[in-house]
Each structure stands twice: as C-alpha cells, then as structure tokens.
Amino acid sequence: MQMKPYRIGTRGSPLALAQALETRDRLMAAHALPEDAFEIVVLSTKGDRVTDRSLADIGGKGLFTEEIEEQLSDGRLDLAVHSSKDMPTKLPDGLDLVAFLEREDVRDAFIGRTAARLEDLPLNAVVGSASLRRQALIKRLRPDLSVITFRGQVETRLRKLDEGQADATLLAHAGLKRLGNTEVITELLDAKRFPPAPGQGAICIEARIGDDHISDLLAPINHVDTHVALMCERAFLGALDGSCRTPIAAHATIENGRLSFYGMALTPDGSVWHDIRTEGPAADAAQIGADAGADIRGRAGPAFFESWV
C-alpha cells in the first residue's frame, strides 16, 4: 500500500499545472483516493528559463523535460505529466510514456490583431511563433509574411501580441481550452490545411519502466485510442528526426480498429514539402508511422534534410 503521497512532476506554467491537476483528478476519481494522496511537484526546466532563443538553438525538446526526468529516474517522483508534443522520441533509459489522457482538439488557433484570419493578414504582416512547424506552414500558405520567434508561456505570447510585437500569433487550441481562454481565438485552422504537431492536444504521463505499481495506478486513465495514435505519430517523427529542429506535422486517428494517418515534412521556409496519407490496422500503429517516415525520407532525399541544419 502506498503510504506517502504519489509525487507528480510537472513544469510550473499555468498550462502545465492545469494538465497535472487534470491527471491528479482523474486518478482520484479512478481509485477513490483523496486529494492528499497526491503531491504536485513543480520543477523549473531549462526550456522554461531560456526564452530569448529558439528551442532549436538551445538543444531541442528535451530541455522541457530534463530536470523532471532526472527526479523521475532516481525515484524522487512517481510520475511526470507532459504535453505530448514536447516529448522527444528518444527518452532516457528506464523511462517510458505509460499513459495518455483522451486527446483534445488538435487544431491550431489563430489569434489576429490586424486581421481575424491568417489569409486576411495584410501584405508583409508579422506573425510570432516559436514552432518551426507553424513557421513553415505559415510561409507555405503566405510566403510574403514575416515570421518572428515568439517563446514563453501562453500569457507571455499574448502580452507580446498586445504590445504590438506582431500582427498575429498561433497557439494550440487544446491548451487554450484547458486554460479557459478560448475567447482570444479569431480563427481555428483546419487540420487538413494546417496539420498539427505530432502529439498535439494529448497529455502524456511518463513513469519508470518496470514500476508495476505506478503502471497499474495509471492504467484506468489511459485512453487507448489516443495512446495508439500517438505511437504512430511518434514513430513517424522518430523516423525523420524527433527533435525541435525539424518542421514536421502528423495526425493519426482511430476508427473501428483502423488507423488513418497523415504526415508532412517541410523545409523551414515552407517552399518545399513532402506528405503522405496512409492507413492500416490500429495494431500496427508504430510500424505504419515508421514506414510513413521512411517513405518521406526516401522521396525527399538527403538535400532536403540538409536545409534543416
């Protein structure tokens, strides 16, 4: 029997805390446990502290997880809650993504000040975004636009927008919903035209491999279809690169045991892209994603990927 509270590791942003609290509340409901059976442990990560440069320049996605995973590995934490799109495909030895909460809306939200829609922005307008995928997709649709790096918490990006540093920005609809801040949205971008990041909209829970007690604790809140879809998307990402240095989009859906997948890789300026649409048995999710990534890598050729460096 667990005598001490389960320690849940998280970043300290309002969105990260909302996700950790949602995970705790689901565990409380699933196991009829009181609130004091859990402790939320807030940790600062390098990705949170260094906000004046792009993630690609300072080391990639792992900068949002390193300090948390160190405490998870040595037992100071029992589990860790993350945004799935922040997770690199290669995890530290001994750790794995054990559970996923049911996925939220995968679409990107456009927040415009000089126009309500991306396509209606004035010629040469400025859009702020920290995501290489969003930057490339914006340039693909509107080559005239200037895209600048916007990093920081949701509130920070919205403040920068209000200060006039850009005409518009893009944020994940799922994050804004979890923060109860959807009123700032001026357009929801169609996922077929503006495909999401691998893992976008899904909360994942990381734990130690072989810790059966924690795996059993998490099993009732794991959403199987989301888990399977993310296995496909992460395999696609892993076959191409898996860091924050690559503009990659991916979206898998499950229906009646069948998986449908769409993936895209772009050059950073959005001028060249390769995409793939495929499907197969949900049981083959990881293989479908890996094969899709290999297909794009083969068609694109080495020169395409050199533009990412």
Residues belonging to the active site: 86
Of 204, 196, 198, 203, nearest to 170 (Cα)? 196
Residues in CB range of 300: below 8 A, 6 or more apart: 265, 274
| Rounded distance between C-alpha atoms, residue 251 and residue 231, angstroms | 11
Of 51, 38, 97, 88, nearest to 66 (Cα)? 88
Sheet holding 108-112, edge to edge: 146-148, 126-128, 168-172, 108-112, 187-188
| Rounded distance between C-alpha atoms, residue 176 and residue 183, angstroms | 9
| Rounded distance between C-alpha atoms, residue 218 and residue 30, angstroms | 9
| Rounded distance between C-alpha atoms, residue 307 and residue 303, angstroms | 7
Give residue 121's Cα distance to chain centre.
26
